[in-house]
Structure 1
Amino acid sequence: MNTTAAVANQSTPSNKPQKQTAKEVIAANIQSLIEQLEQGHSEALSTYLTAMGKFHNYSFGNILEIARQKPDATRVAGLYAWNQLGRKVKKGERGIRILAPVIGVRRTKDEESEKDTQTQNQAVLVGFRAAYVFDVSQTEGKDLPEFSGRVSGSAGEYRDRLVDFVIAQGIALEFKESIAPALGMSYGGKIALLPGQSSAEEFSTLVHELAHEMLHKAERRTATTKTLRETEAEAVAFVVGKTIGLETGRASADYIHLYNGNAALLTESLEVIQKTSAVILAAIENSAEGAAEEPALTRAS
């Protein structure tokens, strides 16, 4: 692998176990976000939510790490992945630290393995270690293929894909004038949209109502407030809309009122927003996208 000594020195992961666990890293990033919100810096939330869309194939903890270390990152990959794409990291660039799982093998006793061959030498998660990725802006070389289907101000074919996904979930979709002035309504197994919305408005509204269907029609509904549920749904719409190129404005500054300093509540809320957004995005984006997605080595931390 042709990389400079400076890059190699900065990007080679340590073989020593990391002192911080994945949970501790997440907790530190959440606390940092709380402090920024309490100081009135609501753009910090927009940065985290935008990162959720850009890097939805990454784990929640690693999304927080990328957003904290390089808020303007748009596409990240490891040294090997960039080299495979015909690009190399520029001299002197510092890697973005993420957590990669360390996989070990659990060996079973002979008598146990004879009974069930599927349990022989099972792979198990031992812990995590530091790994490093770089943003495309930190690399040079061969031009990357543009993501297909990117839009600005119009949902385009993503609208039809979203409708197909909604229907595939067994959710009925209808258009009703009678729900005005509401743009959309979720009834538990059915979504109603107000006719006449622009392409961007209709797409965002449908994502918002779909988020309610996915998040707030079971036990989570009784465990959350209406304000929290509405803001979570709006955050999912922000993440998905921003990712496909819609002008979505900035994330709600009122998010600070959702947790009142409760880090556990904020962590839970951001996790469900990230997971729900990732499911929707995976359903509507082209399968050919993401040539420089996170390698299997660094997933699920």
Structure 2
Amino acid sequence: MNTIAITESKKPNTKQELIATNVKLLIEQLEAGHSEALTTYLTVMSRFHNYSFGNVLEIARQMPSATRVAGFWTWKSLGRFVKAGQKGIRILAPIVGVRRKKDEVAQKDITKQNERVLLGFRNAYVFDISQTEGVELPCLRQVTGDPGENIERLTAFLNSRGISVSYSANIAPALGMSYGGRIAILPGQSKAETFATLVHEAGHELLHRSERRTATTKIVRETEAEAVAFVVGKAVGLVNEDSSASYIQLYHGNASLLAESLEVIQQTAAVILDALEPPISEEVTSEELEAVAA
């Protein structure tokens, strides 16, 4: 997907503007026949699931090939330096202030004298690892074609949420079924297929067992669940190319519906990925960690 320039005067300055601007640009690409744009956005989600929805869209628009980003000083602290002439990836970072408690409140509980409050947002810039040079960084643990322990981890996470997982040949020809508090998986699939199916059904449990289910069609629900499986599968190194073309079904010419679908996909994939593996925190400063929430 080609990056699209936004003039300085029109740069979005709030989370709502950020999301609206990027969804509008995505729709323009889809209407121009670039259906791969939506798959590209989902792929970026798989790489930056700890970032906010708005900032994921910003990274996808400006550098869809980005894989690992950090601020200038963070890269320097890791022994890497931003190459001369490289342009930073703009994201929104929150401006956080401190609100002091009243004296009488502070005297009652000395540990609660101050509280952090959101004052607004500011521009912040991060750089992809491809824009830097220096010492080699430790490789992140990746799984290629094999989910490893992630089937067990996801099962344990679902059980902790009150969702049971069982295997049954009776659901054939379906690969998996979501019953609301219970998931059934068809036995005999490869580990990669089992994991993808389990994520798909977990997506249904987390996405579609609420009031929102009545506002979506079966096609949208299935596509959202498959998109969650795509994002999570990409993040753990699995290859899932067959269904990428179907994600275009999320788009029906309605910007708000597309934005809602993409946001719930991002949030649900993030919940699952956080359950599978703790977030990598050593590559960002505390200031940049706040930026992911923008």
TM-score computed with the length of structure 2 as normaliser: 0.89
Distance 1:160 1:121, change over 3 A: closer
Give how far 1:256 is off: 3.6
8 Å contact from structure 1 (residues 46, 250) kept in 2 = no
Distance 1:53 1:271, change over 3 A: same
Give how far 1:182 is off: 0.5
Could you say which residue in structure 2 is the equivalent of 1:141?
134
Select which of 172, 189, 196 maps to 2:188. 196
Could you say which residue in structure 2 is the equivalent of 1:278?
270
Q: What whole-Å deviation, never above 9, does each CA across 1:57-97 have from its counterpart, x for those lacking one?
A: 11111111111100100000001211121111111111111
Select which of 38, 41, 44 maps to 2:34. 41
Distance 1:250 1:63 in 2: 24
8 Å contact from structure 1 (residues 46, 251) kept in 2 = no
1:207 and 2:199 correspond: yes
Select which of 268, 291, 294 maps to 2:282. 291
8 Å contact from structure 2 (residues 228, 269) kept in 1 = yes
1:221 and 2:210 correspond: no
Q: One-letter code of the match for 2:282?
A: A
Distance 1:50 1:99 in 2: 21
Task: Give the paired residue count.
Answer: 282
Give how far 1:134 is off: 0.4
- Which region of structure 1 is more displaced relative to structure 2, 157-166 or 265-274? 157-166
Distance 1:61 1:242 in 2: 20
- Which region of structure 1 is more displaced relative to structure 2, 36-45 or 136-145? 36-45
Distance 2:76 2:110 in 1: 39
Distance 1:19 1:26, change over 3 A: closer
Select which of 83, 91, 102 maps to 1:98. 91
Structure 2 SS opposite 1:101: strand
Could you say which residue in structure 2 is the equivalent of 1:9?
none
1:248 and 2:232 correspond: no
8 Å contact from structure 1 (residues 53, 239) kept in 2 = yes
Structure 2 residues not aligned, in runs of 5+: 1-10
Distance 2:155 2:104 in 1: 52
Q: What whole-Å deviation, never above 9, does each CA across 1:162-208 have from its counterpart, x for those lacking one?
A: 22222222211111111111100001111111111011111000000
Distance 1:278 1:224 in 2: 21
Give how far 1:291 is off: 3.4
Q: How do residues 1-301 of structure 1 correspond to structure 2 at under 5 angstroms? A: 20-107=13-100, 120-148=113-141, 150-249=142-241, 252-285=244-277, 287=278, 289=280, 291-293=282-284, 295-301=288-294
Distance 1:155 1:111, change over 3 A: closer
Distance 1:262 1:121 in 2: 44
- Which region of structure 1 is more displaced relative to structure 2, 152-161 or 180-189? 152-161
Q: What whole-Å deviation, never above 9, does each CA across 1:224-253 have from its counterpart, x for those lacking one?
A: 111111111000000000111101106543
Percent sequence identity over aligned pairs: 62
Structure 1 SS opposite 2:94: strand
Distance 1:293 1:108, change over 3 A: closer
Q: Considering Cα pairs closer than 8 Å and 6+ residues apart, tell me whether 1 or 2 has the greater RCO.
A: 1
